[in-house]
Homo-oligomer: A and B are copies of this chain.
Amino acid sequence: MTGARLTELGRDEALKLLGSVELGRIVFTEHALPAIRPVNHIVDDEDVIIRSHTGAALTSSVDTVVAYEADDIDPRTHTGWSVIITGIARKVTDEAAIARYERALQPWVDRSMDQVLRIHAEFVTGFTLTGGPRG
């Protein structure tokens, strides 16, 4: 075998990597089926913050357990990392917090976003891939 080596990441290291990128994917259940949407995020302490709009499918994720994943894996060298957090998605209701997050987190998509969601990282898992075939 010539594949890359998989090494588990600690919680702090994993959250730091998650905060180093802007794009991730929220994983939730929609009509009892697994669903996923790419979305941009910021990490605030141990929470992932995303924005959404009322009509979005991922609104069904509010107050349920979701996963949030980001990765940066080079398709040429097969090296990089992946981080997954799991926790309950909550609507942010504090007006000052909403205003702060709306300033810090601009949606990438041309659509008005009227909700800010916070996913507290209850569980954090992550790994690095090193020493791939061309790593």
Residues of chain A at the chain B interface (Cβ within 8 Å): 1-6, 21-23, 25, 27-29, 33-36, 38, 65-67, 69, 71, 73, 75, 78, 82, 84, 86, 106-112, 129, 132
Contacts and interface: CB of A to CB of B under 8 A. Distances in A.
A2 B84 CA distance: 30
The dominant DSSP class at the A interface is strand
Nearest to A69: B36
A28 B35 CA distance: 9
Q: State the copy count for this chain.
A: 2
Contacts of A2: 110
Contacts of A106: 3
A17 to B, nearest CB: 13
A9 to B, nearest CB: 14
Contacts of A4: 108-110
A88 B39 CA distance: 25
A132 to B, nearest CB: 7
30 contacts: A1-B112, A2-B110, A3-B106, A3-B107, A3-B108, A3-B109, A4-B110, A5-B110, A6-B109, A6-B110, A6-B111, A21-B75, A22-B75, A23-B73, A23-B75, A25-B25, A25-B71, A27-B27, A27-B34, A27-B36, A29-B29, A29-B34, A33-B86, A34-B86, A36-B36, A36-B69, A36-B84, A38-B71, A38-B82, A78-B108
